[in-house]
Amino acid sequence: MSSIKNSLAAILNCNKFTGLNYQDWLRNLKIVLASEKLLYTLEKTPPKEAPADASPEELAKLDKWWDDELKARCYVIASMSKEMQRI
C-alpha cells in the first residue's frame, strides 16, 4: 500500500502548480489528499477551539484534525513550483 501512496504523491511532484495549471493541479491534489484521508481538511470548516470542559475524545478529535490539516498544507506547499511558493 505504501508504494501506491508514494506513486500518488509523485503525481504532485511531476505536476507542480505553476499558476497556469490550477484545475489539473487541484484535481491531482484532491486525489492524493483523498488517498491519504486528508481531503476533508480542505472541504470542511476548521473546528473551533475546544471549550474548557471538552472531553478527552473531543480533544483527541480536534488534535487529529489539526495534525491532518498540517499534513495537507505540507502537500499543498510541496506541490507548488518554487515561484508560486514565494507568492
Q: What is the pLDDT of residues 37-83, one digit of tens each?
A: 999 999 999 888 888 888 999 999 999 999 999 999 999 999 999 99
Q: How confident is the model at residue 5 (pLDDT cuts 50, 70, 90)?
A: low
Report the distance separating Cα 85 and Cα 87, nearest Å.
6
What is the predicted pLDDT for the residue at 9? 78
What is the predicted pLDDT for the residue at 2? 56
Angle between helices 22-35 and 56-78 (to 10 degrees): 140
Report the distance separating Cα 25 and Cα 61, nearest Å.
29
Q: How confident is the model at residue 28 (pLDDT cuts 50, 70, 90)?
A: very high
3-state secondary structure at position 49: coil
Pick the closest to residue 69 from 25, 35, 33 (CA basis).
33
